[in-house]
Amino acid sequence: MHSQQLSSLSRRLALLASIGLLAGSLSVNALAAPPPKKVLLVVRMEGKSLPIDQKIQQHLVARGYAVTLHSQYAPVEAALDADLVILSSTIRSHDLLGAYRHVPVPLLTWENDLLDDLAMTGKRAGSDFGSVDKNRYVWLVNAPHTMAAGLPAGVVDVYEKQATMSWGKPGLGATVIATLHGQPEKAAIFGYEKGATMDYESLAPARRVMFFLDNETFPNLSAAGLQLFDAAVAWALQAR
């Protein structure tokens, strides 16, 4: 074989080898990519606020999560296949009660009427949990925590305009991130680590998070409010 032919053959073999290495690298990277975290968003499918829950679903999908809308009347066992359960406040709390109390999966909610059933607060409505109208500020009291989303401590404008805000008084094992502005006894964002003591000496089966939203206030979140929401979701999922 002539030297020219040998040189051409060598170049082709080198090219094929590099293509093979590249394909192998891409294949390994594809195999190494983790699957998206699975979020079970529990809602009232028949409610008028379903479009708001769908906006939350779309937002979370855009952030890379696999989100399933789940009727509050569907079996709770679906939670066992999820990385995070979110209980929307659009559900009928008196129908759900403590159905998700013991699931060993991280859980986030903004339904203050469920906080006692989840053992995240005491049982007295208006004293241990509740909501306030026409509010838009929280007081960030734990800025170093990851749930504070890197925002500085102090007053944070979390709504574009005044709206209803949920709150709770957590047990001693909770980490409080923010309180209602001017009402330090009312926590707007708080969480429990797995195994932390909640109320009634109950232990958290997995991470538990309370956020301050109401039925239709998600679209009203300011840029800072949305940062806090995303940070709460991310923190809950870190333990899964």
The string over 40-79, giving b where at least 16 C-beta atoms fall within 10 Å of a residue's C-beta and e elsewhere, is bbbbbeebebeebbeebbebbeeeebebebbebeeebeeb
Q: Are residues 56 and 7 part of one domain? A: no
pLDDT in tens, the chain (240 residues): 555 554 555 565 455 455 454 455 545 555 677 899 999 999 999 989 999 999 999 999 999 999 999 999 999 999 999 999 999 999 999 999 999 999 999 999 999 999 999 999 999 999 999 999 999 999 999 999 999 999 999 999 999 999 999 999 999 999 999 999 999 999 999 999 999 999 988 999 999 999 999 999 999 999 999 999 999 999 999 965
Distance CA 72, CA 50 (A): 12
Do both 165 and 234 map to the same domain? yes
Q: What is the pTM (predicted TM-score) of this model?
A: 0.86
Statement to judge: residues 91 and 204 lie in one domain: yes
Residues 126 and 81 in one domain: yes
Range of the domain at 18: 1-33
Total of domains in the chain: 2
User: Do 124 and 6 sit in the same domain of this protein?
Assistant: no
DSSP E strands in 33-162: the ranges are 38-43, 66-71, 84-87, 107-109, 129-135, 137-140, 154-157
Within this chain, do residues 151 and 93 fall inside the same structural domain, yes or no?
yes
CATH code for position 221: 3.40.50.880
Phi, psi of 203 (to 5 degrees): -100, 140
